[in-house]
Structure 1
Amino acid sequence: MKRIILNLAITLDGFIEGPNGEIDWCVMDDDMNFGAFLESVDTMFYGRVSYDAWGDFEPDGNASSAEKEMWQAIHAKRKFVFSGQNRTFEKAGLISSDIANHVAEIKKQGGKDIWLYGGASLIKTFIDLSLIDTYKISVHPVALGGGKPLFENLKKRIGLKLTDTRIFRSGVVELTYEPER
C-alpha cells in the first residue's frame, strides 16, 4: 500500500515560510539526492494555494539543467488538489470532501508512495486526520523569527519515532519520523 510522506523544508525556529511567504532560505544541495525521493513517489497532494503557485510552475530559461529535470520529474506525477472550491484543474484531480476516504482509496491503488506537498492548511488537515505515514523534515540552518509555522494549533499531541537522520554539506539536517500509533 502507498504511504503518505510529508517531505518538507523547515527553519530552525519551526517555520515553513517567512512572514511574506518567502522560501529563499531553502537550500537544495546535490548531496541531498532529491531525485531519489522523486523516484520513490508517483502521486502528489496539494492544497489549492500551493497548486496555484507550484502545480504548473516552469523554471525560466536561465535555470540549470538539474532544476529543469527536477520540475520535469515533479510534473510527471499524478496530482490531486484538495480544495473546498469547485474548480477544474487541467492536470490534477480535485478532492473537495470526505478526505479520509478518498485518500484511503488512492493509497489502495498500489504503485509508489505519495508526496504530501502542502500547503500549511492541507498539512494541518492531514495531521489532524492522522493520515501522514512518514514525516521527512529538512531543518535548514536559519532562523526567521516569524512566518508560517509547521505545527500550529494541533488538536492533539503527535508522538513520533525517529527512523533516520542525514546531514548535508550545507548544514541542513533531514530528520525522518514515523508516527507512534
Structure 2
Amino acid sequence: MRKLTYFIATTVDGFIGAPDGDGDFFYSHLDAEFVEHLKAEYPETIAAQGRAQLGIADAPPKRFDAVLMGRATYEPGLKAGMTSPYGHLPEQYVVSRSLTTPPDPQVRLISGDLPARVRELKARDGLGIWLCGGADLATQLIDEIDEFVVKTYPVFAGTGMPMSRAGFGVRPLELTGVTTLGGGQIVSTYRRRR
C-alpha cells in the first residue's frame, strides 16, 4: 500500500507561505548543499524546469510516483505556462472544484470526496504519493497523511499560511529521521502513529 507524504517547506515558526500563500521567499534560502540534498534524496519533487537546469531531467523517481496538489499550488506554474510541472511522474493530480478540464493531458483532476479518492490512490501499487500543498489540502487530508517530511528553513515569518488549518487535535507522530544542512535547513521526517 502506498503512503501519502506531506513534503513541505516551512519557516521555523511553521508557515508554508506568506499570508497570501506566496512561498517564493524560500528560494532565497537555497544553498548548494541543500539543493544537492534534494537532488540526491527527493529528485522527483523538483519541477521539470528545475530538473533540466540541475542536470537531473532523466533522474527516476526515488520515493514518489504521484503528486497531489491543490489548484492554488498548481496555479502559479500554470500562469507561467507550466501545464505539467511534474511530467516526469506517472501521476499528477490537481484537486479543484473550479477546473472542469485538465490544462494538460498528463494532469488529472480530482473533485468530490477527496479522502475517499486518496484512499483509492493509496491502495494502488507503486511508490508513494507526494502531497505537494497547500494548507487547505492538508486540512482536508489530515487523517490520510501517513508521513510528514518537513523542510524547515532558517527564517522566522511571524505570520502567514500555516501547514494546515485542521484545528486542534493531538495527532501523535514518530520522528524517523533528521538531516541538518550547512545553510541552516533541517529536514525532519515523521511517521504517523496509528
Q: How high is the TM-score relative to the length of structure 2?
A: 0.77
The answer as to 2:121 corresponding to 1:101 is no
Deviates more, 1:21-30 or 1:114-123: 21-30
Counterpart code for 1:116:
L
The runs of 4+ residues in structure 1 deviating greater than 4 Å are 55-59
Contact 1:31/1:168, CA 8 A, preserved across alignment: no
User: SS of the counterpart of 2:72?
Assistant: helix
Identity %: 27
Q: Pick the aligned partner of 2:100 from 87, 95, 99.
A: 87
Offset of residue 34 of structure 1: 3.6
Per the alignment, residue 117 of structure 1 pairs with 132
| Residue 133 (structure 1) aligned to one of 143, 146, 163 | 146
Partner of 1:68: none
**Contact 1:11/1:140, CA 8 A, preserved across alignment:** yes
The total of aligned residue pairs comes to 167
Aligned mates of 1:57, 1:2 — CA distance in 2: 31
For 2:119, the aligned partner's letter is: A
Alpha carbons of 1:102 and 1:24: their partners in 2 closer, same or farther (altered >3 Å)? same
User: Is this contact kept in 2: 1:56–1:75, CA < 8 A?
Assistant: no
Match of 1:75 in 2: 87
Q: Is the 8 A contact 2:67 2:130 kept in 1?
A: yes
**Judging changes above 3 Å, is the alpha-carbon distance between structure 1 residues 22 and 159 closer, same or farther for their aligned structure 2 residues?**
same
Cross-structure match for 2:9:
9
Question: C-alpha offsets along residues 129-151 of structure 1, whole Å, 9 cap, x if unaligned?
Answer: x1111100011111011111114
CA shift at 1:153, angstroms?
A: 4.6
In 1, the alpha carbon distance for the partners of 2:173 and 2:65 equals: 25
User: Higher relative CO (CA 8 A, sep ≥ 6), structure 1 or 2?
Assistant: 1
Q: Secondary structure at the match of 1:106?
A: helix
- Tell me which residue corresponds to 1:64: none
- Which deviates further from its counterpart, 36-45 or 135-144? 36-45
Q: Over aligned residue pairs, what C-alpha RMSD do you find?
A: 2.2
2:25 is paired with a residue whose SS is: coil
Find the residue that maps to 1:12 and give its secondary structure: coil
Q: 1:176 to 1:58 in 2, by over 3 A?
A: farther
Q: Please show how residues 22-101 of structure 1 align to structure 2 within 5 Å.
A: 22-26=23-27, 27-28=29-30, 29-37=34-42, 38=44, 39=61, 40-54=63-77, 74-77=86-89, 78-89=91-102, 90=104, 91-101=106-116
Alignment partner, residue 165 of structure 1: 178
How many angstroms apart in 2 are the aligned matches of 1:56 and 1:178?
35
Gaps of 5+ in 2: 45-60
C-alpha contact 1:9 1:140 (8 A) present in aligned 2: yes
